[in-house]
Amino acid sequence: MKAFTKHTGLVVAMDRANVDTDQIIPKQFLKRIERTGFGEFLFWDWAKLDDGSTDPEFELNRPEAAGASVLLARRNFGCGSSREHAPWALEDYGFRVIIAPSFADIFYNNCFKNGMLPIRLSEEMVDDLFARAAQHDSYQLTANLEDCTLSDAHSLSVSFEVEPFRQNCLLNGLDDIGLTLEHEDKITAYEAAHSK
């Protein structure tokens, strides 16, 4: 898993609440077990028109969203089914940071396990970020996981909270397998002692 310490990226504002995992990555694209290749199907039902062509009005399809790596959304982002494909699709698309007032618990946990930083901020602070994104062309935010701050080039600096265990795992690029491999010497010793 890719470690995360500090990331500066272009913000795309998705002014929608209750964005569920079925919208993030629709069920018809869940036939693969690899973690890659899902980005092109991200928000498929919103990104396409009925005839299958690209919807130019969808947030991620607008020219100013090209290359965005910070997603700003409303409350309860990632609700719905617990599919891990949702963070896979977001990460594969290029997102490293997702900011919202709240996240569904399983989705929130899966973001950390897939190298993305979900940041919870108050409704008021998220409102302010939406206003800033609308006011400034090519609006960028910097998320610093080491000191848990979010900042921009327009005098914004706010703190966010991350549980120390999740912070440590993301700073060091440790998913569940990586955490297990930190104890590889003990596992090897146990297997050697019990191999009869």
- List 20's β-bridge partners, or say none: 79
Does 34 score more than 90 pLDDT? no
**Residue at 125 is within a domain:** yes
Which residue range is the domain that position 80 belongs to? Answer: 6-193
What is the per-residue pLDDT for 179? 60
Q: How many CB atoms lie within 10 A of CB 148?
A: 15
What is the per-residue pLDDT for 140? 98
What is the C-alpha separation between 162 and 84, in angstroms, rounded? Answer: 20
Question: Could you tell me which of 94, 140, 88, 97 has the C-alpha nearest to residue 116?
Answer: 97
- CATH at 84: 3.20.19.10
What is the per-residue pLDDT for 182? 61
Q: How many CB atoms lie within 10 A of CB 34?
A: 8
What is the per-residue pLDDT for 1? 81
SS3 113: helix
Residues in contact with 35: Cβ distance below 8 Å, sequence separation at least 6, in sequence order:
88, 91, 92, 114
> For the chain, what is the mean pLDDT?
91
What is the C-alpha separation between 8 and 162, in angstroms, rounded? Answer: 18
Amino acid at site 5: T
Structure tokens at 134: 């609308």
Contact 77, 13 (CB under 8 A): no
Per-position DSSP letters for 43-95, written without gaps between them: THHHHB-TTS-B-TTSGGGSGGGTT--EEE--SSBTBSS--THHHHHHHHHT-
Question: Could you tell me which of 42, 46, 105 has the C-alpha nearest to residue 68?
Answer: 42
SS3 141: strand
What is the per-residue pLDDT for 178? 59
**Residue at 1 is within a domain:** no
Where is pLDDT greater, at 187 or 61?
61
Identify the band that residue 184 occupies on the pLDDT scale cut at 50, 70 and 90.
Answer: low
Q: How many CB atoms lie within 10 A of CB 154?
A: 10
What is the per-residue pLDDT for 138? 95
Per-residue pLDDT of 47-87, as tens digits, reads: 999 998 999 999 999 999 999 999 999 999 999 988 889 99
Phi and psi at residue 12, to the nearest 5°: -115, 130
Identify the band that residue 117 occupies on the pLDDT scale cut at 50, 70 and 90.
Answer: very high
Domain count along the chain: 1
Mean pLDDT of 170-178: 78
